[in-house]
């Protein structure tokens, strides 16, 4: 949707779609032709050291850039805080190899007949890769880069649970602070899924849409004619801080994170078999953790994976938590606008929910043209809605069956 929180918020609050024809690689002969890409991203704007940039795959660049923005926004003065109580908890996933980067080594190792010769690769071909090559692709590297940038010596974890990754990372960050092991946690996640290897991998899961509709109409969570998700990329960072610590330094406070729950469907390893039970348990666990009653939830940021099965499962899960009251809680899926940006989705959902609490506007679920009888809740169809939201829930659920739920409150 853009670089920065305001472009993101105005995009989702206006119900705009960030889905376009794929431009990051040539997808001419491939059934999937659309994606939600980060446009006009210049990592040099956020990462000064050329040496560092060289060892950052796009996923890492996006995450580190978002961390830069988040830390600047927080106005934390690094020199004044205890570095051992500044930690990091991020969601990430497998970072795909760059085919262009590997190609010279592979081509060098081909025999005359064009077959790959691993002997030649081992003795010579591999040396065409630069020595720090592997570091570009390790999922814990965003957390490592950020720790160096901010001298963050506290607890440091990277979670790789797909759709739930950054939601869990943020939740775990909350727990680290609550248990007294840190005062500030840089949390969230980043991912860049718009590349051949990732798109293929999702395609094989049969959860990716291959629709021929115009790009902005492809992502349609909860709509009767949905046929899968749109691949995307992005990064979201949320700075969590212990309240007294924040007050003492006169920090600007966006909202309060009051609860976290996580569970599993016990199904969904290959994108199939979702049942909504895991989402229900995560939500109940979060409500319990937050000591918030069900009837206090004013808005839910839904996962909205947009497969037939997943959205029905999500709906069933929400109904099992909220009962008859489920229909009265507006629940929208920003994936309808930004696709599935991999491990960053939970963080972006949380940022959207924080802005909702601040601005009193619910982003819509766009492309909801024909209701599915089995998805009969209020998904804030197509148009944003003004509503005062004091307590919001963010749910993440999807590939692998991991589920996570966060609850935030307007800070008073």
Partner 1 sequence: MNRRVVITGIGMVTPMALGVEENWKHLLKGDSAVGYISLFDASTFPTKIAAEVRNFNFADHFPTDGKLDFAGRNTQFAILAADMAFKDARLPGYDFDKRRFGIYLGSGEGKQDFFNFVKIIGESWNGQSVSNAKFVELGEKVFHPIMEQEQEPNMAAAHLAEIFHAYGPNSNCLTACAASSQALGEAAELIRLGKADIMISGGTHSMIHPLGVTGFNLLTALSTANADPTKASRPFDRKRNGFIVGEGAGILILEELEHAKRRGAHIYGEIAGYGTTADAYRLTDAHPEGRGAIAAMKMAINKSGLKVEDIGYINAHGTSTVVNDKIETLAIREVFKEYAYKVPISSIKSMLGHLIAAAGAVELIVCLLVIRDGIIPPTINYEFPDPDCDLDYVPNVARRKQVDVALSNSFGFGGQNVALIVKRYRS
β partners of residue 241: 184
Instruction: Identify residues 68-97 at the interface with partner 1 (CB under 8 A).
Output: 83-84, 87-88, 92-94, 97
For partner 1, which stretch binds (CB under 8 A), given 211-219, 325-333, 350-358, 393-401?
Answer: 393-401
Q: What character string, x for contact with partner 1 (CB under 8 A) and - otherwise, covers 297-336?
A: ----------------------------------------
Single out the residue of 5, 74, 158, 365 in contact with partner 1 (rule: CB under 8 A). Answer: 158
Between 271 and 363, whose beta carbon lies closer to partner 1?
271
For partner 1, which stretch binds (CB under 8 A), given 67-75, 123-131, 299-307, 389-397?
Answer: 123-131
Distance of CA 318 to the CA centre of its chain: 21
Q: Residue 227's closest CA among 310, 164, 162, 300?
A: 310
- C-alpha distance from residue 376 to each of 28, 49, 222, 235, 319 (Å): 37, 51, 9, 31, 10
Between 123 and 370, whose beta carbon lies closer to partner 1?
123
Between 205 and 358, whose beta carbon lies closer to partner 1?
205
Query: Per-residue DSSP letters for 281-343?
Result: HHHHHHHHHHT--GGG--EEE-----SHHHHHHHHHHHHHHHGGGGGGS-EE-THHHH-B-GG
Cα-based torsion angle of the residue sequence 116, 121, 127, 132 in order, rounded to the nearest 10 degrees: 90
Closest distance between partner 1 and the C-beta of residue 126, in Å? 5
Query: H/E element holding 199?
Result: helix 196-204
Q: Is residue 108 at the binding interface for partner 1, with CB under 8 A as the rule?
A: no
Query: H/E element holding 89?
Result: strand 86-91
Q: How far apart are the first and last CA of the chain?
A: 30
Q: Is residue 15 at the binding interface for partner 1, with CB under 8 A as the rule?
A: no
Q: Are 208 and 199 spatial neighbours (Cβ–Cβ below 8 Å)?
A: yes
DSSP 232: B
Between 104 and 214, whose beta carbon lies closer to partner 1?
104
Q: Is residue 358 at the binding interface for partner 1, with CB under 8 A as the rule?
A: no
For partner 1, which stretch binds (CB under 8 A), given 67-75, 156-164, 244-252, 319-327?
Answer: 156-164
Between 276 and 330, whose beta carbon lies closer to partner 1?
276
Between 265 and 298, whose beta carbon lies closer to partner 1?
265
Q: Residue 72 class from Cβ within 10 Å (0-12 exposed, 13-18 middle, 19+ buried)? A: exposed
**Total interface residues for partner 1 by CB under 8 A:** 100
The angle, 0 to 180 degrees and rounded to 10, between the axes of the packed helices 141-150 and 58-74 is 30
Q: Are 157 and 169 spatial neighbours (Cβ–Cβ below 8 Å)?
A: yes
> What gap in Å lies between CA 113 and CA 116, rounded to an integer?
9
Between 126 and 258, whose beta carbon lies closer to partner 1?
126
Query: H/E element holding 188?
Result: strand 184-192
Instruction: Identify residues 170-229 at the interface with partner 1 (CB under 8 A).
Output: 172, 175, 179, 181, 196-197, 199-201, 203-205
For partner 1, which stretch binds (CB under 8 A), given 6-14, 39-47, 121-129, 321-329?
Answer: 121-129
Between 212 and 412, whose beta carbon lies closer to partner 1?
212
SS3 category, 32: coil
Between 9 and 274, whose beta carbon lies closer to partner 1?
274
Single out the residue of 58, 193, 226, 402 in contact with partner 1 (rule: CB under 8 A). Answer: 402
Tally the residues of the chain: 412
Single out the residue of 61, 63, 65, 147 in contact with partner 1 (rule: CB under 8 A). Answer: 147
Instruction: Identify residues 254-293 at the interface with partner 1 (CB under 8 A).
Output: 261-271, 277-278, 281, 285, 289
Between 367 and 395, whose beta carbon lies closer to partner 1?
395
């Amino acid at each position: 949707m853009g670089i920065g929180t305001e472009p993101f918020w105005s995009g989702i609050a206006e119900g705009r779609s960030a889905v376009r024809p794929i431009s990051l690689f040539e997808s001419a002969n491939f059934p999937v032709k659309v994606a939600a890409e980060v446009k006009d991203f210049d990592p040099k704007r956020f990462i000064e050291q050329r040496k560092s940039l060289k060892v950052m795959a796009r996923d890492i660049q996006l995450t580190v850039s978002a961390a830069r923005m988040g830390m600047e926004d927080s106005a934390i003065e690094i020199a004044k805080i205890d570095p051992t109580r500044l930690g990091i908890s991020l969601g990430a996933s497998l970072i795909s190899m760059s085919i262009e980067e590997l190609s010279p080594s592979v081509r060098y190792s081909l025999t005359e007949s064009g077959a790959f010769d691993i002997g030649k690769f081992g003795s010579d071909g591999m040396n065409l890769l630069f020595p720090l090559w592997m570091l570009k692709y390790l999922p814990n590297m965003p957390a490592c880069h950020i720790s160096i940038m901010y001298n963050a010596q506290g607890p440091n974890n990277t979670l790789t649970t797909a759709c739930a990754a950054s939601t869990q990372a943020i939740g775990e960050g909350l727990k680290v602070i609550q248990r007294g092991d840190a005062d500030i946690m840089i949390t969230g996640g980043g991912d860049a899924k718009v590349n051949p290897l990732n798109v293929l991998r999702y395609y094989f899961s049969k959860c990716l849409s291959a629709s021929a509709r115009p790009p902005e109409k492809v992502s349609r969570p909860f709509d009767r004619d949905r046929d899968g998700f749109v691949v995307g990329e992005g990064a979201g960072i949320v700075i969590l801080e212990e309240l007294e610590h924040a007050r003492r330094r006169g920090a600007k406070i966006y909202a309060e994170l009051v609860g976290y729950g996580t569970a599993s469907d016990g199904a969904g390893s290959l994108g199939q078999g979702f049942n909504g039970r895991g989402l229900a348990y995560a939500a109940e666990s979060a409500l319990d953790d937050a000591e918030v009653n069900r009837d206090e939830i004013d808005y839910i940021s839904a996962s909205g994976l947009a497969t037939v099965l997943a959205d029905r499962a999500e709906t069933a899960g929400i109904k099992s938590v909220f009962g008859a009251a489920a229909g009265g809680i507006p629940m929208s899926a920003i994936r309808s606008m930004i696709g599935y940006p991999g491990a960053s989705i939970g963080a972006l959902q949380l940022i959207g929910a924080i802005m909702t609490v601040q601005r009193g506007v619910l982003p819509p679920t766009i492309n909801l043209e024909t209701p599915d009888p089995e998805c009969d809740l209020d998904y804030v169809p197509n148009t944003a809605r003004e509503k005062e939201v004091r307590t919001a829930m963010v749910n993440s659920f999807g590939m692998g069956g991991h589920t996570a739920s966060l609850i935030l409150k307007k800070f008073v």
